[in-house]
Structure 1
Amino acid sequence: MRITRLLFFVFLLTPYVVLAQTKDVLFTIDSHPYYTDEFVRVYNKNLDLVKDDSQKNLDNYLELYIGYKLKVEKAYKIGLQNGANYQNELKSYRTQLSKNYLSDSKVTNELVQEAYDRLLQEIRASHILVLVDENAAPEDTLKAYQKITDIKKRIESGEDFIKVAQQFSEDPSVKENNGDLGYFSAFRMVYPFENAAFSTSVGKVSKAFRTRFGYHIVKVVDKRANRGEVTVAHIMILKPASVSDKPSPNPEDKAKVTIEDIYKKIQQGESFESLAQQFSEDKSSAPKGGVLQRFGSGQLSSEEFENVAFSLKNINDISAPFQSQFGWHIIKLIEKHTVRTLADMKTELEEKVKKDERSLLISNSLAKKLRSTYSLSKDQKALAAVKKILTNDFYAQTWEVPSNSKDFEKPILVINKKKSIAVTPFLNFIQAQQKSNLKIKPLSKLVDVLFEKFIDEQVTAYYNENLENEFPEFRYVMDEYRDGLLLFDLMDREIWTRAKSDTIGIQDFYKNHLVNYQWKKRFGVDILSSTDQSVIEKAKQLMKKGKSLEVIKEKLNTEGKVNIMLKSGVFEEDDALLSSFKNVTKGVSGIVLKDNYYFILNVTEVKEAGPKLFTECKGKVMSDYQQFLESNWVNELKKEFEVKIQPDVFASIKKQLQQ
């Protein structure tokens, strides 16, 4: 994600203590002044987070800081701040950041309690969706609402919910799940959907309701206590890709045999973790003994896997092999996690509440407080004029703002004697409210209700627009993010894209730095392992006689017992297992005991150390080339821009910071 890379540039957004109370010019870039207060603030924020002690040195840090600002100046010089993507992303970030300031603690606490109560339950539900964009035209909104209403009537008349879902639901996943969403709890669905599901009884169908996706109805199939979360380890043999010309035996049968052999090894007392490390084809969990991140109901894409995991009762219980859509698994229970107390979860829930649609309730509560803070001047004549303009077409969702009124530019609301809002925005607000399907009558009363909602929206917007003036820390964060975003775009243009497209330059860099791209000595090997020394000795003798791996396995894995396991591949000489052998050479090795397993190697190929082909290290070369380009970039910028440092001012800052 883009923000992840931005953290490389943006000076970290953490609380700070400003030691310098003065605001003097520390340096200029082409006459653009940069001040001491910002430099001191940023330095203090990063002081404990910088690992490189050289960057804590104030002289070195000033060089880094100037380099950073030179890049930002370059971005402004070439006009990156005018890009639509940049402006949209900056606006999006500000919207997210401002949510932390648009809160009401009482409402927040109520929403946290509601969320926690819901987290104690899990609901299984099916739904039917009629798609309509949240900004759709009134006629499209009405059409969608009528369609979901008709669907609801069919179900109420006795038609089967699943059959109706298959026929009418516009959720793309309905073809696979018949509208069944599985089990979920709080925060797993958008808030209006969650509300409908939790307020509907088991076996009942909700009223039609709207989310940002469209109109829904929900049938609640089951409610149960939250199963909590589990931590498990697993061994996985992937489902083989279908290949039409694959000779027998069937590759799916081979995967099943492999998982059953592994299960037999576990039943024989061998270590689950060691077997996972050796044979699991889940590359992300195998090195950790198969351990997965903890999860709850509905968080994985395999219901079969979840159900088996939650069916294990005691720590260290191990499941029999089972199949999912991804392959074959064996699961070991590591830990069960019950739902934590509200006190333990409160901070986490507050963050979640602020990030989803519940935050709208908090904003509405804030608006009431702002009304008592700001002075509001309402023009009753303008409001009366609006009441004459609005017609009954509003109820049919077909009313449009007239285009020929001379009164539209007159103010209808003034906030704090500073912000004047004309009639036109209110009329546009009214038109947009048609999709809410309000039935308030008469029209004059409807206008009064909508005007109060409009005032709430406007006072909150005014407050939001002035956050930089109200809260200095908000302004600092936005300034830093703005610079970081520009720098990301600049780096993408000047460094990353250039490195990708400069094929000649990158090839020359590869050749000139070939010493950095070298293979260590490598071995093509077959690895045989067993917990029984006598078995591994027999395997060694069979290997020396030239017997194939299949024959060795057939001879030694008898009577339903898996006595030996096989693995083949190419490994570098410092591989954890190979480094346990002395003088690895071509042919059959001696026996090595490691972690209660006996191992032998059959080295089939030896590849001497040497340079990697460009295709073998392309990613690393491109990364190194990017760093090379960037390291020379600041010097080029110093030639392009004039930098003037105020040495006396810097000396004063150094003295202050070193106290």
Structure 2
Amino acid sequence: MKISRLLIFVFLIGPYFLLAQTKEVLFTIDNHSYYTDEFVRVYNKNLDLVKDDSQKDLDKYLDLFLGYKLKVEKANKIGLQYGTNYQNELKSYRNQLSKNYVNDSKVTNELINEAYDRMQQEVRASHILVLLDEGASPEDTLKAYNKILAIKKRLDAGEDFITVAKLTSEDPSVKENNGDLGYFSAFRMVYPFENAAYKTAVGQVSMPFRTRFGYHIVKVVDKRNNRGEVTVAHIMIVKNGDEAQNEKAKSTIEDIYKKIKQGESFETLAQQFSEDKSSAPKGGVLQRFGSGQLSSEEFENVAFNLKLKNEISEPFQSQFGWHIVKLIEKHPVRSLDEMKLELEEKIKKDERSLLITNSLAKKLRSKYSLSKDVKLLSKVKGAVTEEFYSQTWDAKEKSIEIKGDVLTINKDRKISVVQFMSYIAGKQKSNIKTKPISRLVDELFEKFIDDQLIAYYNDNLENEFPDFKNIMDEYRDGLLLFDLMEKEIWNRAKNDTLGLNEYFKSNVDKYQWKKRYDVDILSSTDMNVIKKAQKLLKKGKSIEYIKEQLNKDGKVNVMSKSGLHEEDYDILSEYKGLEKGVTSIVSKDKYYFVVNVSDEKPAGAKQLSECRGKVISDYQQFLENHWVDELKKEFTIQINNDVFSRIKTQLNK
């Protein structure tokens, strides 16, 4: 599923609460009726998402909802619902969503306990992978399996795991990590991989096993108590391939560390100097994380090795740059009671859910009525031959002579004998050895019944669960709307060069630079130091010279940053009427600042190249706003105002 498609579902997020009401027609679009229950549900589920009370205005919301449905009508009108990608993605989402509705409490609780027990430990493992698609042919599967067996024999013969991994593993990351996956806990790997890792002893190599990625062999390197999660803040100076720049980065982080040791605020220094733009405004604070969740083991180890709250690390280097880390809080593994609901949700989204789904079949046998055609089943037993065991049995050839329905579920789902015989043929590759043939067919028929019951149950989830139907209807509309917007608005805004230029020219007042200054900004916590810096600036001394003169005896007394900025940038907003030259000294947040203005650029219009992304976004919105007006003319709309008045009264209570 394209993640970006999720962004279109403005209506489709969050919990909702239905009002007790009679379902009535709210409006029609070309005789297609839309009802009050959907409008109320969608309105209520979005109340928590809007901050502006004006967005809760029901008249405006009705217009917004109507516009949304007009776009869906347009998508259907031009046939987007028949698109192959649309159909595949809708089917994929339904399959994914249906897992949340296939549940067995006993199996679920067993899986919760197993996951929690595993979360007490972290496993460090290396692996060797032989890639294989989930839907691979029997020939390709056998080829991959033989390859992994050959690799296992080499390991059993005493060859070094890392050497063999580098030579044979088809995991692209092996070139960088030699197959080492670092430490992980439950839910960090696909379930079959997790099982193999936790069931293999330290220092041992697993038997080959399969996941959706292919065949694996795992070597468990270590097991340790789970370190839990940690919240830290950091200051980062980015490094690059240039040696001189890297030395400068190292020097900068060391200067920052000295200022911290001098008692200056970690958070303020992070805001001023950290080059991690996402965390710097928050004083360097990162989202909490556990082992294996970051792409830098060095960073994780430093963070977890800090013991005391507010403890600060020395500068250290990762593959991304130089860091200083401050411990905010440690989060130990919570109790089972505290984690139970969270674990259940994770299980529903994990491969473990397949175990729950399969256990459901037993319950469905008592829920639904089953009718078997014993005579047809007897004919099938006569049609299946010993060729099954050599995987040469041809179901098509044998099924020509046998017609009818071998199974009926709930009197409305009839499954033909051809379907069952095709199922048998497909099981040849499973290398089943059950004999005699009659027993084999009975065994496969019971499994076939389970599969058909689950399929029937899945196909009827819309009838079993109203909320499932609502989610699927909304997702279906959302996918259509995404495809329509991409076709009619987004691609047009990106590719319509003439239209974009015309829009930019007509709205150039929206895209203006404020007055800008090319500046060097010097800061210090010591007024005397900043006064000295000011004098040196007035004498025309360089930033490097000033820092060399004022940062002595291992102390960093002054820091600097330079660039072209608008007049309200950072400390520049404290000055009125900036001019070329050295400014007066100002103070802010216990720091003193002086600015050297080397050049100024007047306020004026931006070039399209300087704000293209913003202009495209605005142009898209412009096109969409006018497009809805066009759709209102294209379709016949009738709003039932009496019904809407009653809905407003209900919702405003």
CA contact (8 A) 1:309 1:333 kept: yes
1:271 to 265, 268, 275: 265
Question: Could you tell me how far 1:392 is from its partner in structure 2?
Answer: 5.1
CA contact (8 A) 1:142 1:397 kept: no
Deviations 1:482-533 (A, max 9, x none): 1222112111111111111221122111111111111112211101112222
* Aligned counterparts of 1:82 and 1:13: Cα–Cα separation in 2: 29
| Structure 1 residues not aligned, in runs of 5+ | 243-248
The answer (yes or no) to whether the contact 2:16–2:44 under 8 Å persists in 1 is no
How far residue 582 of structure 1 moved from its aligned partner, in angstroms, is 4.0
The match for 1:411 among 401, 405, 409 is 405
Report the counterpart of residue 197 of structure 1 in structure 2: 197
TM-fit CA distance, 1:324: 1.4
- The answer as to 2:106 corresponding to 1:106 is yes
Could you tell me which residue of structure 2 aligns to residue 188 of structure 1?
188
SS in 2 for 1:637: helix
The amino acid of 1:2's aligned partner reads: S
Q: What residue is the counterpart of 2:538 in the other structure? A: 544
Query: Is the contact made by 2:383 and 2:398 (CA closer than 8 Å) also made in structure 1?
Result: no
For the structure 1 residues 310 and 58, does the alpha-carbon distance in structure 2 shift closer, same or farther, using more than 3 Å as the test?
Answer: closer
1:49 Cα shift?
Answer: 4.7
Q: How much is the aligned-residue C-alpha RMSD, in angstroms?
A: 2.2
Cα distance per residue 1:107-132 (max 9 Å; x no partner): 11111111111111000111122222
Distance 2:433 2:167 in 1: 31
Give 1:174 deviation, angstroms. 1.8
Structure 1 residues 309, 443: closer, same or farther in 2, change over 3 A? farther
Please report how far the alpha carbon of residue 457 of structure 1 lies from its aligned counterpart in structure 2 after TM superposition. 1.2
Correspondence list, 1:201-212, <5 A: 201-212=201-212
Is 1:95 matched up with 2:89? no
Q: Which moved more, 1:261-270 or 1:368-377?
A: 261-270
SS at match of 2:540: coil
Q: What is the aligned partner in structure 2 of residue 365 from structure 1?
A: 359
Give, in whole Å, the separation in 2 of the partners of 1:227 and 1:47: 39
Does 1:157 pair with 2:157? yes
Q: Specify whether residues 440 and 302 from structure 1 end up closer, same or farther in structure 2 by C-alpha distance, changes over 3 A only.
A: farther
Query: Which residue is 1:339 aligned to?
Result: 333
Q: TM-score, normalised by structure 1?
A: 0.94
Change in 2 beyond 3 A, CA 1:162/1:648: closer
Given that 2:526 and 2:557 are in contact with CA atoms closer than 8 Å, whether structure 1 keeps it comes out as yes
| Superposed counterparts of 1:254-403, under 5 Å | 254-391=248-385, 394-395=388-389, 401-403=395-397
The unaligned stretches of length 5 or more in structure 2 are none
Aligned position for 2:628: 634
Which residue identity lines up with residue 338 of structure 1 in the other structure? P
1:12 Cα deviation after fit: 4.3
CA distance in 1 between counterparts of 2:624 and 2:324 reads 48
Matched with 2:16 is 15
Query: Counterparts in 2 of 1:78-93, with a 5 A limit?
Result: 78-93=78-93
Name the CA shift for 1:26/1:183 in 2 (closer, same or farther; >3 Å): closer
- State the Cα distance separating 1:80 from its structure 2 match: 0.8
Partner of 1:222: 222
Give the TM-score normalised by structure 2: 0.94
Give the whole-Å Cα distance in 2 for the aligned partners of 1:639 and 1:276: 55
Give 1:547 shift.
0.8
Q: CA deviation at 1:61?
A: 3.3
Contact 1:139 1:397 in 2 (8 A): no
User: C-alpha distance in 2, partners of 1:532/1:657?
Assistant: 60
Q: Secondary structure at the match of 1:20?
A: coil
**Partner of 1:513 in structure 2?**
507
Q: String of CA shifts for 1:319-360, please: whole Å, max 9, x gaps.
A: 222211112212111111111111111111111100011000
Q: Cα offset for 1:577?
A: 1.4
Percentage identity across paired residues of the two chains: 69
Q: 1:226-247: CA deviations, max 9, x gaps?
A: 01111111121212234xxxxx
Q: Which amino acid aligns with 2:235?
A: I
Q: Which amino acid aligns with 1:362?
A: I
Paired amino acid for 1:315: K
CA distance in 2, matches of 1:658, 1:321: 58
> Is this contact kept in 2: 1:138–1:397, CA < 8 A?
no
Hey, what's the Cα distance between the residues in 1 that align with 2:577 and 2:505? 32
CA 1:309 to 1:438, structure 2 compared with 1: closer, same or farther past 3 Å? Answer: farther
Aligned to 2:570, the other structure's residue is in SS state coil
- Give the C-alpha shift of residue 133 in structure 1: 1.7
1:214-263 per-residue CA deviation (whole Å, 9 max, x = no partner) reads 11121111111001111111121212234xxxxxx732222222222222
1:99 is paired with a residue whose SS is helix
| Count of residues paired in the alignment | 651
Displacement after TM superposition at 1:368 (Å): 0.7
Q: Tell me, in whole angstroms, the C-alpha distance in 1 between the residues paired with 2:647 and 2:157.
A: 79
Aligned equivalents of 2:523, 2:644: Cα separation in 1: 66
Residue pair 2:236, 2:275 contacting (<8 A) in 1 also: yes
2:109 counterpart letter in structure 1: N
Tell me the SS of whatever aligns to 2:65.
helix
Give the secondary-structure state (helix, strand or coil) at the position aligned to 1:142. Answer: helix
**TM-aligned CA distance change 1:316 to 1:51, over 3 Å:** closer
